[in-house]
Homo-oligomer: A and B are copies of this chain.
């Protein structure tokens, strides 16, 4: 079969990956552009994925002592300007409120592009003694950055995320929290989203505005490009010092405090689409899918079919599966295509002959495999299938990642890989920003994604300038 596509309005990945992506977002009704340029409407199908991400992550956060808060959508201009590097990083992207209630404001207000300054502003008057520390706060909110070019989920002016902000008595404790949160992201994205990752540290030029160190998890899309999937920042005491946040220790001595922040956004839905999706649409890992099983009755007008289908629906619901039934008057073929576009992990067919044989037919969304199972141990069988599907989806993505990271020892090799392959390059680097720039310019835009924690020794020399190498860096074209 040359063309596996059941939905004709989706471009093939091999024809045009970018068009494929926007087609899937549209056909699965995940989100759409609103009438405000660059801002999205998150529609029910897309928002339900975000809700599952949020619920799962929030639970993991709280197990480590995170408390949720909500701070204002507006930041006074003077407050945003308090930390020098920070405002330099964000000033060009800020939207400004100049009028409120019909009158011009005395001071302009910015719509938050991120909330470090607001957190510090609270802590300034709240933190006095070592007893007030640590503060381990997080908020689920939206932020606004005036981007010039936008793409659904990947880059939009307003996007949804969580931003965690913590304050500690010692740099060691803050560093530990920074890494703990990166580990939580890593576990969540690999286990729940079945997306394999590279964990590492950003180079100086790629780190967050105002941070001392930025840690990241990087994933590979099916087109070989990288997507930064979550970041965790160690601020040292720079930010708190700018806000004059100091605490008294047990001996009544005054000390600086140490800050972290960490965030994961709706971009991750873009990764979910581009790591697992295929020419028929979305493919969602069972653990995160809003609907895990779609029951489709066959010959549903025949005696007993709908009754049986509904009793299966009830049984599966009672056993905590996220399950729906499509008993509309559309044809089974149309329903199959719909379930595929939406990426629902399992299709469950039940018709008169199945009832006779006391069975149902399950079809896996990820590989099309058909499995006939007995009605007598539905829960157990489906649990097994879902678990197997989850781990096989991860393995498949892991193979893609592993098979598409290629070593290079010279810039010519990099240019060659760039021409002939998709994927990442691993190569040594001297630590000089100029080499990062040169590599970007001489290739088709390969940037440093991270200095991975798992280092390999590829050569002694920087891939670009030939001087002594410091670290192995992962290079890639990125979203």
Contacts and interface: CB of A to CB of B under 8 A. Distances in A.
Contacts of A68: 44, 47-48, 51
Contacts of A111: 73, 97, 111
B42 A70 contact: yes
A75 B98 CA distance: 15
Contacts of A36: 72, 74-76, 109
Interface string A199-239: 00000000000000000000000000000000000000000
A257 B74 CA distance: 36
A149 to B, nearest CB: 12
Contact of A94 (B39, B42, B101, B121): B101
B158 A39 contact: no
Contacts of A39: 72-74
Contacts of A48: 67-68
Interface in A304-319: none
Contact of A101 (B79, B93, B102): B93
A41 interface: yes
Given A34-B118, A41-B122, A137-B44, A101 B146 contact: yes
Nearest to A67: B44
A160 interface: yes
B144 A73 contact: yes
A57 to B, nearest CB: 14
Contacts of A467: none
B42 A71 contact: yes
Interface in A29-59: 32, 34-36, 39-44, 47-48, 50-51
A69 B47 contact: yes
A325 interface: no
A149 B284 CA distance: 48
A388 to B, nearest CB: 29
A167 to B, nearest CB: 13
A148 interface: yes
A105 to B, nearest CB: 9
A333 interface: no
A92 B102 contact: yes
B94 A96 contact: no
A142 interface: yes
Contacts of A121: 34-35
Interface centre among A50, A72, A76, A92 (most CB of B within 10 A): A72
Given A36-B72, A44-B68, A74-B158, A99 B96 contact: yes
A245 to B, nearest CB: 14
A72 B157 CA distance: 10
A417 interface: no
Contacts of A74: 36, 39, 95, 144, 158
Contacts of A72: 34, 36, 39-41, 158
Nearest to A144: B73
B96 A98 contact: yes
Given A34-B121, A35-B76, A101-B146, A69 B95 contact: no
Contacts of A43: 69
Interface centre among A68, A69, A100, A142 (most CB of B within 10 A): A100
A73 B34 contact: no
Given A35-B121, A41-B122, A94-B100, 11 more contacts: A34-B72, A35-B79, A36-B76, A41-B118, A42-B71, A47-B68, A74-B95, A95-B100, A96-B100, A97-B97, A98-B98
Which 9 pairs, one residue from A and one from B, show the smallest C-beta to C-beta distance? A101-B146, A44-B67, A39-B72, A42-B70, A96-B99, A95-B100, A100-B146, A98-B98, A36-B74
Interface of A: 32, 34-36, 39-44, 47-48, 50-51, 67-76, 79, 91-102, 109, 111, 118, 121-122, 137, 142, 144, 146, 148, 157-158, 160
26 contacts: A32-B122, A34-B122, A36-B109, A39-B72, A39-B73, A40-B72, A41-B69, A41-B70, A44-B68, A47-B67, A47-B68, A48-B67, A48-B68, A70-B142, A73-B111, A74-B158, A92-B101, A93-B101, A94-B100, A95-B101, A96-B98, A96-B99, A97-B97, A98-B99, A101-B146, A101-B148
